[in-house]
Chain A
Amino acid sequence: MANTQAMTTSFMGELMTATHNFGTAPVRATGATDAFKAALYLTSATMNASSTAYTVTGEVSGTGYSAGGVAVTFGTPPTATNSSVTAGVAFVTPSASITYTTVTLATAFDAVLIYNSTQSNKAVSVHTFGSQTITAGTFTLTMPSNTTSTALIRLATT
């Protein structure tokens, strides 16, 4: 037997469920899953890794679109999978497509911000795609498969 330096994969999965707290934790009324939302951003916006929370600045606007976007469903809890004694992946993916139904978004947009609406709208991730406009139509974002390599949100050690 030998010991191997590693970040435990279980820890990464538990980060996704707020099990560990090295600082000051937000006060939670229950242990229930937080609510998440998805907001769309114009091509002129600057959403990126430095984004800390949802903002109306640069968000799309138009008929049928409500500021803040739509709810995101995480029906499957995060999964943590080891691939070796040093490596593993914790991952999670929304369990349903994100859909904006019957909207008119005349100004081009190319990004979606997923954020935690339970915890002060704190940002989770930014995903970009080719520039789009929508006219009296529906915009749908379909999620990748929820696997170790394709899940939408991944924490990984190698």
Chain B
Amino acid sequence: MALVTTTKGEMDDSLLEKKEGFVDNDNESTTWVEYWLDGELVHRSAHVALKKNVSSAVEAASFN
């Protein structure tokens, strides 16, 4: 058993329905977890691992 922070305060996870999912593509690897109580979403967390950076190309111009 573990306590989960919810919209209704700390709750034992055994009282809740747990749903998990993930997304993995070129831009990110994301996992999320939800806890539901009687059809109501009471907790959702997400963890996004960024894969794609921002890059700027720079150059020295030629005189000719």
Contacts and interface: CB of A to CB of B under 8 A. Distances in A.
A125 interface: yes
A158 B57 contact: yes
Interface residues of B, number: 31
B14 interface: no
B55 A142 contact: no
Interface string B19-36: 000010001101011100
Tell me whether chain B's interface is mostly helix, strand or loop, or mixed. strand
A109 to B, nearest CB: 10
A129 B41 contact: no
Contacts of B30: 129-130, 132
B24 to A, nearest CB: 10
Interface of B: 5-7, 23, 27-28, 30, 32-34, 41-60, 62
Interface of A: 5-7, 12, 91, 102, 104, 125-130, 132-144, 150-158
21 contacts: A129-B48, A130-B27, A130-B28, A130-B48, A134-B46, A135-B43, A136-B6, A136-B43, A137-B33, A140-B47, A141-B49, A141-B50, A144-B53, A150-B51, A153-B54, A155-B55, A155-B58, A156-B56, A156-B57, A157-B58, A157-B60
